[in-house]
Amino acid sequence: MKNITLQKIPAFLFLLITLLITSSFTSTINNWEHLGSRTVNYRLDKDVIKVTARKGGFKKLKVKVTGGSLNMHKMVIQYGNGKKDVIQLKHNFSRKSETRIIDLKGGKRIIRDITFFYDTKNLSRKKAKVHVFGKH
């Protein structure tokens, strides 16, 4: 009985170490923070997501669309210091698609809000939901 238990210990330790290494690696890969979401109002051609300074400074952004589809033209990022960046997206989002990773100029930036400009000429029957994620 002791012999069987002693044989299982190295295998258990190996699995435990592998699990710890894998979980710490995935947490560094997936550390995107959800900054906000907005359900598209098809009567408007733009939406604003407010981001507070409490969330800190961000170096990268990405946008994900769920629900319906959407033609995104651009987004305007308003920083805490009053400056703006206009990011041309010109992207047709299908359900569950996302943008490339967008590197913000100037390192970590406090974001006040993000305005999206889009159209819905793609005749999607479902309302799209725009999600913004940031990386510190």
Q: What mean pLDDT comes out for the span 31-47?
A: 88
| CATH number at 33-135 | 2.60.120.260
Render pLDDT for 46-104 as a digit per residue (tens, 0 to 9): 999 999 877 889 999 999 999 988 889 999 999 999 999 999 998 888 888 999 999 99
Question: Is it the case that residue 10 has pLDDT exceeding 80?
Answer: no
- Domain-wise residue ranges, the chain: 1-30, 33-135
- Residue bearing the bigger pLDDT, 122 or 130: 130
- Residue 122 binned pLDDT confidence (cut-offs 50, 70, 90): low
CA gap 4, 20 in Å, rounded = 25
Which residues are within 8 A (CB) of 17 and not within 5 positions of it... i.e. 6 or more apart? none
CA angle 119/60/41 to nearest 5° reads 25
Q: What is the pLDDT of residue 26?
A: 36
